[in-house]
Structure 1
Amino acid sequence: MLLLGLASRIYGYLLFDVLELNAGDAFWAAMVYFGVRFILVTRPPLFSLLFSLLFSFGIELSQLYQVEWINNIRGTTLGTLILGRGFLIVDLYRYSFGILMAFVIDVLLFKKKRKQVL
Protein backbone atom coordinates (compact mmCIF):
# COMPACT_ATOMS: atom_id res chain seq x y z
CA MET A 1 0.00 0.00 0.00
CA LEU A 2 2.81 2.35 0.88
CA LEU A 3 4.47 1.87 -2.50
CA LEU A 4 1.17 2.31 -4.36
CA GLY A 5 0.50 5.53 -2.46
CA LEU A 6 3.97 6.91 -3.17
CA ALA A 7 3.75 5.87 -6.81
CA SER A 8 0.42 7.67 -7.13
CA ARG A 9 2.13 10.85 -5.96
CA ILE A 10 5.25 10.48 -8.11
CA TYR A 11 3.59 9.20 -11.28
CA GLY A 12 0.19 10.79 -10.77
CA TYR A 13 0.40 12.56 -14.10
CA LEU A 14 0.02 9.13 -15.76
CA LEU A 15 -3.31 8.48 -14.03
CA PHE A 16 -6.81 9.75 -14.67
CA ASP A 17 -7.37 13.07 -12.92
CA VAL A 18 -9.69 11.59 -10.30
CA LEU A 19 -7.09 8.96 -9.38
CA GLU A 20 -4.25 11.46 -9.34
CA LEU A 21 -6.14 13.62 -6.85
CA ASN A 22 -7.46 10.89 -4.56
CA ALA A 23 -5.40 7.71 -4.75
CA GLY A 24 -2.54 8.75 -2.46
CA ASP A 25 -4.78 9.53 0.50
CA ALA A 26 -6.94 6.45 -0.07
CA PHE A 27 -3.86 4.19 -0.21
CA TRP A 28 -2.45 5.87 2.92
CA ALA A 29 -5.67 5.15 4.80
CA ALA A 30 -5.78 1.55 3.49
CA MET A 31 -2.21 1.13 4.74
CA VAL A 32 -3.34 2.35 8.17
CA TYR A 33 -6.16 -0.21 8.15
CA PHE A 34 -3.90 -3.12 7.22
CA GLY A 35 -1.30 -1.93 9.74
CA VAL A 36 -3.91 -2.05 12.48
CA ARG A 37 -5.02 -5.50 11.29
CA PHE A 38 -1.42 -6.71 11.38
CA ILE A 39 -0.75 -5.37 14.87
CA LEU A 40 -4.12 -6.31 16.37
CA VAL A 41 -4.66 -9.53 14.46
CA THR A 42 -6.94 -11.07 17.10
CA ARG A 43 -9.41 -8.18 16.90
CA PRO A 44 -12.31 -8.34 14.43
CA PRO A 45 -12.11 -6.41 11.15
CA LEU A 46 -14.81 -4.00 12.30
CA PHE A 47 -12.58 -2.90 15.18
CA SER A 48 -9.77 -2.19 12.69
CA LEU A 49 -12.17 -0.23 10.51
CA LEU A 50 -13.30 2.00 13.38
CA PHE A 51 -9.81 2.41 14.86
CA SER A 52 -8.37 3.30 11.44
CA LEU A 53 -11.08 5.90 10.84
CA LEU A 54 -10.45 7.48 14.25
CA PHE A 55 -6.69 7.47 13.70
CA SER A 56 -6.90 8.92 10.18
CA PHE A 57 -9.43 11.55 11.14
CA GLY A 58 -7.29 12.43 14.15
CA ILE A 59 -4.24 12.97 11.95
CA GLU A 60 -6.27 15.16 9.59
CA LEU A 61 -7.80 17.18 12.41
CA SER A 62 -4.34 17.65 13.95
CA GLN A 63 -3.48 19.68 10.85
CA LEU A 64 -5.67 22.43 12.23
CA TYR A 65 -3.02 22.81 14.96
CA GLN A 66 -0.39 25.07 13.43
CA VAL A 67 2.58 25.83 15.70
CA GLU A 68 6.26 26.00 14.89
CA TRP A 69 7.46 22.70 16.40
CA ILE A 70 4.91 20.51 14.61
CA ASN A 71 5.21 22.51 11.38
CA ASN A 72 8.95 21.81 11.49
CA ILE A 73 8.15 18.09 11.61
CA ARG A 74 5.60 18.49 8.81
CA GLY A 75 8.31 20.24 6.80
CA THR A 76 10.29 17.00 6.49
CA THR A 77 9.47 14.34 3.91
CA LEU A 78 8.57 11.73 6.51
CA GLY A 79 6.61 14.26 8.55
CA THR A 80 4.60 15.28 5.49
CA LEU A 81 3.87 11.65 4.57
CA ILE A 82 2.65 10.82 8.08
CA LEU A 83 1.12 14.08 9.33
CA GLY A 84 0.25 15.92 6.14
CA ARG A 85 0.44 19.69 5.85
CA GLY A 86 -2.96 21.33 5.97
CA PHE A 87 -6.52 20.35 6.80
CA LEU A 88 -8.78 19.47 3.88
CA ILE A 89 -12.28 18.17 4.50
CA VAL A 90 -12.09 16.17 1.26
CA ASP A 91 -9.27 14.11 2.81
CA LEU A 92 -11.77 12.71 5.30
CA TYR A 93 -13.77 11.30 2.38
CA ARG A 94 -10.62 9.93 0.77
CA TYR A 95 -9.58 8.23 4.02
CA SER A 96 -13.06 6.80 4.50
CA PHE A 97 -13.06 5.37 0.99
CA GLY A 98 -9.58 3.85 1.36
CA ILE A 99 -10.37 2.28 4.72
CA LEU A 100 -13.72 0.97 3.52
CA MET A 101 -12.11 -0.62 0.45
CA ALA A 102 -9.40 -2.21 2.62
CA PHE A 103 -12.09 -3.52 4.98
CA VAL A 104 -14.07 -5.04 2.08
CA ILE A 105 -10.93 -6.66 0.66
CA ASP A 106 -10.02 -7.98 4.10
CA VAL A 107 -13.46 -9.44 4.78
CA LEU A 108 -13.99 -10.91 1.30
CA LEU A 109 -10.53 -12.25 0.50
CA PHE A 110 -9.61 -13.54 3.92
CA LYS A 111 -13.03 -14.88 4.85
CA LYS A 112 -12.16 -18.41 3.75
CA LYS A 113 -8.94 -18.45 5.77
CA ARG A 114 -10.76 -17.29 8.91
CA LYS A 115 -13.28 -20.11 8.57
CA GLN A 116 -10.45 -22.64 8.37
CA VAL A 117 -8.90 -21.24 11.56
CA LEU A 118 -12.17 -21.43 13.51
Structure 2
Amino acid sequence: MIAAANTRRRRLIMFAMVMLTIAAGLTSRRYPTWQPSWMAQYAGDTLWAMMVYWWLALLVPVARPTALAGWALVLSWAVEFSQLWHTPWLDGLRATTPGALVLGQGFLWSDLVCYTVGVLLAVLVDRAVLTFMRSSPNASP
Protein backbone atom coordinates (compact mmCIF):
# COMPACT_ATOMS: atom_id res chain seq x y z
CA MET A 1 0.00 0.00 0.00
CA ILE A 2 2.81 2.41 0.82
CA ALA A 3 4.49 1.70 -2.54
CA ALA A 4 1.24 2.56 -4.33
CA ALA A 5 1.05 5.83 -2.41
CA ASN A 6 4.62 6.69 -3.45
CA THR A 7 3.78 5.87 -7.06
CA ARG A 8 0.80 8.22 -6.95
CA ARG A 9 2.93 10.88 -5.27
CA ARG A 10 5.68 10.51 -7.88
CA ARG A 11 3.14 10.71 -10.71
CA LEU A 12 1.71 13.89 -9.23
CA ILE A 13 5.20 15.42 -8.99
CA MET A 14 6.04 14.35 -12.55
CA PHE A 15 2.76 15.81 -13.84
CA ALA A 16 3.63 19.09 -12.12
CA MET A 17 7.07 18.97 -13.75
CA VAL A 18 5.48 18.41 -17.18
CA MET A 19 3.19 21.41 -16.72
CA LEU A 20 5.97 23.67 -15.36
CA THR A 21 8.30 22.67 -18.18
CA ILE A 22 5.65 23.29 -20.84
CA ALA A 23 4.92 26.70 -19.33
CA ALA A 24 8.63 27.57 -19.22
CA GLY A 25 9.14 26.38 -22.80
CA LEU A 26 6.19 28.33 -24.19
CA THR A 27 7.29 31.40 -22.24
CA SER A 28 10.83 31.10 -23.60
CA ARG A 29 9.45 31.07 -27.15
CA ARG A 30 6.84 33.79 -26.60
CA TYR A 31 9.14 36.26 -24.82
CA PRO A 32 12.63 35.78 -26.25
CA THR A 33 13.67 39.33 -25.35
CA TRP A 34 13.34 38.51 -21.65
CA GLN A 35 16.41 36.27 -21.92
CA PRO A 36 19.96 36.49 -23.16
CA SER A 37 20.03 35.70 -26.91
CA TRP A 38 21.82 32.36 -26.45
CA MET A 39 19.18 31.25 -23.95
CA ALA A 40 16.31 32.35 -26.18
CA GLN A 41 17.83 30.31 -28.99
CA TYR A 42 18.37 27.07 -27.04
CA ALA A 43 16.03 27.07 -24.03
CA GLY A 44 12.97 25.80 -25.90
CA ASP A 45 14.74 22.72 -27.25
CA THR A 46 16.38 21.98 -23.91
CA LEU A 47 13.03 22.25 -22.12
CA TRP A 48 11.33 20.15 -24.80
CA ALA A 49 13.65 17.22 -24.05
CA MET A 50 13.08 17.71 -20.31
CA MET A 51 9.34 17.50 -20.97
CA VAL A 52 9.82 14.21 -22.84
CA TYR A 53 11.68 12.87 -19.80
CA TRP A 54 8.91 14.01 -17.40
CA TRP A 55 6.21 12.39 -19.57
CA LEU A 56 8.11 9.11 -19.53
CA ALA A 57 8.59 9.34 -15.75
CA LEU A 58 4.86 10.03 -15.41
CA LEU A 59 3.97 6.99 -17.52
CA VAL A 60 6.54 4.67 -15.90
CA PRO A 61 7.09 6.04 -12.38
CA VAL A 62 9.06 2.99 -11.22
CA ALA A 63 11.69 3.31 -13.98
CA ARG A 64 15.20 4.34 -13.05
CA PRO A 65 16.35 7.79 -14.12
CA THR A 66 19.05 6.30 -16.35
CA ALA A 67 16.48 4.20 -18.23
CA LEU A 68 14.18 7.20 -18.57
CA ALA A 69 17.12 9.26 -19.83
CA GLY A 70 17.93 6.68 -22.49
CA TRP A 71 14.36 6.57 -23.76
CA ALA A 72 13.97 10.34 -23.63
CA LEU A 73 17.13 10.75 -25.71
CA VAL A 74 16.02 8.13 -28.22
CA LEU A 75 12.63 9.80 -28.63
CA SER A 76 14.02 13.33 -28.78
CA TRP A 77 16.72 12.46 -31.27
CA ALA A 78 14.26 10.42 -33.37
CA VAL A 79 11.95 13.43 -33.64
CA GLU A 80 14.90 15.61 -34.64
CA PHE A 81 16.12 13.17 -37.29
CA SER A 82 12.54 12.82 -38.57
CA GLN A 83 12.82 16.46 -39.64
CA LEU A 84 15.08 15.28 -42.45
CA TRP A 85 12.11 13.39 -43.91
CA HIS A 86 9.74 15.53 -45.96
CA THR A 87 6.38 14.49 -47.30
CA PRO A 88 3.43 16.78 -48.03
CA TRP A 89 1.31 15.43 -45.17
CA LEU A 90 4.17 15.61 -42.65
CA ASP A 91 5.23 19.09 -43.72
CA GLY A 92 1.57 20.13 -43.51
CA LEU A 93 1.42 18.80 -39.96
CA ARG A 94 4.63 20.62 -39.06
CA ALA A 95 3.13 23.85 -40.46
CA THR A 96 0.52 23.85 -37.66
CA THR A 97 1.35 25.23 -34.22
CA PRO A 98 0.85 21.89 -32.39
CA GLY A 99 2.78 20.05 -35.10
CA ALA A 100 5.66 22.51 -34.93
CA LEU A 101 5.76 22.30 -31.12
CA VAL A 102 5.83 18.50 -31.11
CA LEU A 103 7.71 17.64 -34.31
CA GLY A 104 9.79 20.75 -34.94
CA GLN A 105 10.36 22.31 -38.32
CA GLY A 106 13.94 21.78 -39.44
CA PHE A 107 16.89 19.61 -38.51
CA LEU A 108 19.67 21.28 -36.51
CA TRP A 109 22.69 19.54 -35.01
CA SER A 110 22.57 22.00 -32.11
CA ASP A 111 19.14 20.64 -31.15
CA LEU A 112 20.72 17.25 -30.43
CA VAL A 113 23.05 18.97 -27.95
CA CYS A 114 20.10 20.83 -26.39
CA TYR A 115 18.15 17.58 -26.04
CA THR A 116 21.10 15.89 -24.36
CA VAL A 117 21.57 18.79 -21.93
CA GLY A 118 17.82 18.88 -21.21
CA VAL A 119 17.66 15.17 -20.43
CA LEU A 120 20.74 15.40 -18.19
CA LEU A 121 19.19 18.31 -16.30
CA ALA A 122 15.96 16.34 -15.91
CA VAL A 123 17.90 13.37 -14.51
CA LEU A 124 19.57 15.62 -11.93
CA VAL A 125 16.23 17.10 -10.87
CA ASP A 126 14.59 13.68 -10.85
CA ARG A 127 17.30 12.23 -8.63
CA ALA A 128 16.81 15.14 -6.23
CA VAL A 129 13.05 14.46 -6.23
CA LEU A 130 13.64 10.76 -5.54
CA THR A 131 16.06 11.59 -2.73
CA PHE A 132 13.51 13.98 -1.23
CA MET A 133 10.76 11.35 -1.51
CA ARG A 134 12.91 8.76 0.27
CA SER A 135 13.82 11.16 3.08
CA SER A 136 10.37 12.57 3.65
CA PRO A 137 8.36 11.34 6.65
CA ASN A 138 5.78 9.59 4.45
CA ALA A 139 8.37 7.60 2.46
CA SER A 140 8.25 3.84 2.39
CA PRO A 141 11.03 1.94 4.19
Note whether the superposition's TM-score is higher than 0.5.
yes
- Taking the aligned partners of 1:21 and 1:12, their CA distance within structure 2 comes to 8
- 1:16 aligned partner, one-letter code: P
1:62 is aligned, of 78, 82, 105, to: 82
5+ residue gaps, structure 1, are none
Q: Which structure: larger Rg?
A: 2
- Taking the aligned partners of 1:112 and 1:78, their CA distance within structure 2 comes to 35
- Taking the aligned partners of 2:134 and 2:38, their CA distance within structure 1 comes to 35
Equivalent position of 1:43 in the other structure: 63
Deviations 1:38-95 (A, max 9, x none): 1011111111100000000000000000111100100100000000011000000001
- Taking the aligned partners of 1:61 and 1:9, their CA distance within structure 2 comes to 22
- 2:92 aligned partner, one-letter code: N
| Cα gap change, 1:114 to 1:45, in 2 (>3 Å) | farther
Q: Report matched runs for 1:2-17 at 5 Å.
A: 2-17=22-37
- 2:68 aligned partner, one-letter code: S
- Taking the aligned partners of 2:65 and 2:125, their CA distance within structure 1 comes to 11
5+ residue gaps, structure 2, are 1-20
- Taking the aligned partners of 1:41 and 1:64, their CA distance within structure 2 comes to 32
- The alignment partner of 1:110 has SS state of helix
- Taking the aligned partners of 1:114 and 1:73, their CA distance within structure 2 comes to 43
Q: Which runs of 4+ in 1 moved over 2 A?
A: 114-118
Percent of aligned positions with the same letter in both sequences?
33
Equivalent position of 2:104 in the other structure: 84
